[in-house]
Structure 1
Amino acid sequence: MSGLGADRVVRRVDGRVIVDGVTLAVDAGETVGLLGPNGSGKSTLLRMLAGVLAPSAGVVTLDGRPLPEVGRRATARRVATVEQHAHTQTELTVRDVVALGRIPHRRAWTPASEADARAVTEALDRTGLTGLADRSWHTLSGGERQRAQIARALAQEPRELLLDEPTNHLDIQHQLDLLDLVAGLPVTTVVALHDLNLAAMYCDRLLILRTGRVTAEGTPGEVLTPELIAEVYGVRAEVTHGPGYPVIRFVRGVTGVGAGVR
């Protein structure tokens, strides 16, 4: 099996099951969205896919090999991660931040190579950050910081990209700009999102989690129904299919179990 995948992975913390038997196979070039309420296990699943957390049971594989067998450095060369928030107390320029993506490709204490410099320059250009390369990280807006984190991930030259709530705290324009950027990248993407309409617009396939388990999987048109939205989120919604993907409109003042089904 090629690419990144999870086979019946479980993650337990202090006796509590956070992710419960999730299986996921991602096709090359596909964008898969992870949806579900807070606490449904999206971030934990992404961290297991990245190899940051080990499953309590089940296995995460890369090209059919378990991640521990692949190794941390080899995995980091293939799989890049963009977390919800990135902070540093160190005074770094944007170029410095993006250059961190080259660490998996270099031996310790070795200077940057021409290939490293080229990868950083291309990542800055692709994300529209060339003009900000010498700016301090601390002076950037939220949207610029997210783009810098994506540039850092691109400098890794990954084949798989994992993003955890990349649109959080961004205004609508920057949400759309960022997801347009991600959608145009030549990588396989798994992205956790809260906004159902953004997921419908930008994802090829959706995996819906609830209390750590898969509730539904399929295309946005198959998955995003009023019944499922009511079951998973406890709200009533109307779903139309205008521009080639579902459009969700929430009904004000109607919440609770069974809210979405007349």
Structure 2
Amino acid sequence: MTGLHADRVVRRLADRLVVDDVTLTLRPGQTVGLLGPNGSGKSTLLKLLAGVLAPTAGVVTLDGRPLPEVGRRATARRIATVEQHADTGTELTVRDVVALGRIPHRRAWTPPTAADAAAVTEALARTGLTDRADQSWHTLSGGERQRAQIARAFAQQPRELLLDEPTNHLDIQHQLDLLSLVASLPVTTVIALHDLNLAAMYCDRLLVLREGRAVAEGTPAEVLTPVLIEQVYGVRAEVTHDSGHPAIRYLRPAAPDELQEGVTGDVPTAH
């Protein structure tokens, strides 16, 4: 089996199952969205896929080999990750940050090669940061910092890219720009998202988690139904498909007085 694969992985924290018997196969070039409420296990599953955490049970394989057999350095050459938040107290330029993606490809203390420089230049260009290359990373906006982190991951030249809620705290335009960029990259992507409409727009497949377990998997049209949204998120929604992909409109919860009227059968009187 080629590519990244999680087979019935479990991650236990004390007496709690954070990830419980989840299987996920990544198909080359696809963008897979991880959905679920806070605490559903999305971030933990990403860390299991990246080899940052070891499963309590089950196995994560890369090209058919368990990640511990592949080795951390070889895994880092293949799999890049982008966390929710990135910060550093060190004064770095954007180019310096992007160049961190080349570390898995070099021996310790060896200088950058021409191939390293070319990969960084390409990553800056791909993410629209060429004109920011010599600027301090600390002076970037939130959206630009996220783009710089994706450029760093792209410079790593991975075949698999894992992103943990990269659109958090970004305005709508930057969310759309960022996800358009991710979808255009020639890699297999797993991305944890909260926004169901963004997941429907940019993901080929979805895996929905609740309390650590997979409760649905398939295309956005198959997964994002009013029934599932209410079961997993506890909210009512209408789902339409006029745009070619599901579009979710959330329904406002009933006000307390409306609920009381529904219970008592009282009807307001017009005056």
TM-score range, shorter chain: over 0.9
Q: What displacement does 1:108 show?
A: 0.2
More strand by share: 1
Which residue is equivalent to 2:89?
89
Within 5 Å, which residues of 2 pair with 1:248-259? 248-254=248-254
1:31 and 1:190 mapped to 2: Cα distance? 6
Instruction: Output the aligned Cα RMSD.
Output: 0.8
Deviation by residue 1:29-76 (Cα, 9 ceiling, x = unmatched): 011000000000000000010000000100000011000000000000
Q: Are 2:22 and 1:25 equivalent residues in the alignment?
A: no
Deviation by residue 1:119-176 (Cα, 9 ceiling, x = unmatched): 0000000000000001111111000000000000000000000000010000000000
SS of the residue corresponding to residue 44 of structure 1 reads helix
Q: Are 2:40 and 1:55 equivalent residues in the alignment?
A: no
SS of the residue corresponding to residue 252 of structure 2 reads strand
1:14 and 1:100 mapped to 2: Cα distance? 34
Q: How high is the TM-score relative to the length of structure 1? A: 0.96
Q: What displacement does 1:206 show?
A: 0.3
Which residue is equivalent to 1:134?
134
8 Å CA contact 1:21, 1:58 repeated in 2: yes
1:101 and 1:242 mapped to 2: Cα distance? 41
Which residue is equivalent to 1:240?
240
1:111 and 1:65 mapped to 2: Cα distance? 31
Q: What displacement does 1:254 show?
A: 4.7
Aligned length: 255
8 Å CA contact 1:83, 1:163 repeated in 2: yes
Which residue is equivalent to 2:201?
201
Which residue is equivalent to 2:224?
224
Which residue is equivalent to 1:260?
none
SS of the residue corresponding to residue 121 of structure 1 reads helix
SS of the residue corresponding to residue 201 of structure 1 reads helix
Relative distance call for 1:252 and 1:116 in structure 2 (3 A) is: same
SS of the residue corresponding to residue 251 of structure 2 reads strand
SS of the residue corresponding to residue 47 of structure 2 reads helix
Within 5 Å, which residues of 2 pair with 1:154-169? 154-169=154-169
In structure 2, give the amino acid aligned to 1:71.
G
1:127 and 1:25 mapped to 2: Cα distance? 28
Which residue is equivalent to 2:114?
114
8 Å CA contact 1:22, 1:213 repeated in 2: yes
Runs of 4+ aligned structure 1 residues displaced above 4 Å come to none
Q: What displacement does 1:216 show?
A: 0.4
Please list every run of 5 or more consecutive structure 1 residues that lacks an aligned counterpart in the other structure.
Answer: 256-262
8 Å CA contact 1:11, 1:19 repeated in 2: yes
Deviation by residue 1:53-107 (Cα, 9 ceiling, x = unmatched): 0001000000110000000000000000000000100000000000000000000
2:9 and 2:37 mapped to 1: Cα distance? 19
Please list every run of 5 or more consecutive structure 2 residues that lacks an aligned counterpart in the other structure.
Answer: 256-271
Which residue is equivalent to 1:11?
11
Which residue is equivalent to 1:258?
none
Q: What displacement does 1:243 show?
A: 1.2
1:254 and 1:166 mapped to 2: Cα distance? 32
Q: How high is the TM-score relative to the length of structure 2? A: 0.93
2:218 and 2:186 mapped to 1: Cα distance? 22
1:91 and 1:13 mapped to 2: Cα distance? 36
Q: What displacement does 1:253 show?
A: 1.8
2:116 and 2:60 mapped to 1: Cα distance? 29
1:87 and 1:9 mapped to 2: Cα distance? 30
In structure 1, give the amino acid aligned to 2:199.
A
8 Å CA contact 1:236, 1:254 repeated in 2: no
